[in-house]
Amino acid sequence: MKKPFYQLEQSRDVIRHFTPNWFTATMGTGVVAMILAQLPFASALLFKLATQLWQLNILLFISFSVLYMLRWILFPTEAKQIFSHPNMSLFLGAIPMGLATIINGFLSFGTHLYGDIAVQIAEYLWYFDVFLAVMIAWIVPFCMFSCQDHLLQRMTAVWLLPIVACEVAASSAGVLLQHLTADQHAFNILVTGYVLWGISVLPAFAILTILMLRLALHQLPEKEVAISSWLCLGPIGTGALALLLLGEQAPRIMQAMGFENLANLLPALGIVASLVLLGFGLWWFGIAILTTLRHIRTGIPFNLGWWGLTFPFGVFILAIFNLAHQLQVAFLQSIAVVLSLLLIGLWALVMKKTVAGAYSGQLFFSPCLAALQQKMR
């Protein structure tokens, strides 16, 4: 039986067992803050609540970053085992995605609190986020190919995590461009956004194809990882959102750079492609719901994987909100509002269980450390 948090010896057990899947909590909390600000009935009070949630998310991200860095400093041999672990290494992608929600918050909330300096902070953080996302998109799959043990029947949608971080950075580029002048610098960010989209979405769709094969051949995943089916909404929703955000900023930037033809083409492509992507996402949404209902009868044990209910669902909703805004379709906005209320309820449930699990110490467990101890026996 694990010790309660307050009884962990000098916090060393927390550090030793701290893993990057904790950053999924910052992803989910950040996207809920963004959605609160998108609600059409958002008042000054609701905007203040969203701002406070974003500030809480910053504290969470900093705390998790310190804990994870301390693990590498105090327990480097054990920390390195993450690259050989077939599941935990995938959660490294949660770090840049969690950071992206903070970047978007600086642009949505920080400008009201800190002025133009918030845009500069967001820009510097975005460059770092892009570097981190690309490195993880290369290194983690390479480790999967070279030094990890994978079987098709053990595959889950968690495979998407190290890949999707790049398209999350692409969507952040679209938000950042709203605050930049249409010049060569903005043009470079716009082009980078589309490249990041390609780095992420195309491999993600290859993974989704393999995942469909795995489900057909080996049935649904075990109840412990049943929530992972919701992760499929992530690359689809973020892919649509990134195209919409980049396409919305493309006309003024492309016209300023002399590319008038692309100025009209990119927004139209973004809308059409997002409609197709959201249709595909709707299919996965149904599969995720049916999978959850199938396992909920026998009980789904709580773990940090439950945060998969929040961020992927959240970016899917944000894409619907953005599409409704660009097309001026009230029906789509109504759908997004209903889904937003569901998401907020899910976030509250998962956060409550996470706080309880952290306090009891049950959530501080490192599978890669357990695997190392097993090897040494």
| DSSP secondary structure string for all residues of 97-111 | HHHHHHHHHIIIIIH
Contacts of 263 (CB under 8 A, 6+ apart): 250, 251, 252, 254, 255
User: Predicted confidence band at 5 (pLDDT cuts at 50, 70, 90)?
Assistant: very low
Flag the least confident range among 5-14, 151-160, 302-311, 348-357.
Answer: 5-14
Q: Check whether 167 has a pLDDT greater than 70.
A: yes
What average pLDDT score do residues 272-293 get? 96
Contacts of 223 (CB under 8 A, 6+ apart): 295, 298, 299, 300, 301
| Contact (CB, 8 A) for 158 and 86 | no
List for the chain the helix, strand, coil content (%; round to 5).
Answer: 85, 0, 15
| Contact (CB, 8 A) for 173 and 189 | yes
Q: What are the b/e assignments for 91-106, b being 16+ CB within 10 Å?
A: bbbbbbbbbbbbbbbb
Q: Check whether 165 has a pLDDT greater than 80.
A: yes
Structural domains present in the chain: 12-368 (1.50.10.150)
The pLDDT tens digits for 185-239 are 999 999 999 999 999 999 999 999 999 999 999 999 999 999 999 999 999 999 9
C-alpha pair distances (Å), 68 with each of 15, 71, 300, 366? 7, 5, 28, 12
How much of the chain exceeds pLDDT 70, in percent?
Answer: 95
**What is the predicted pLDDT for the residue at 1?**
44
Instruction: Give the separation between CA 223 and CA 330, rounded to whole angstroms.
Output: 38
- Least Cα distance to 366 among 60, 23, 5, 82 occurs for 82
pTM of the model: 0.94
- Least Cα distance to 259 among 250, 269, 268 occurs for 250
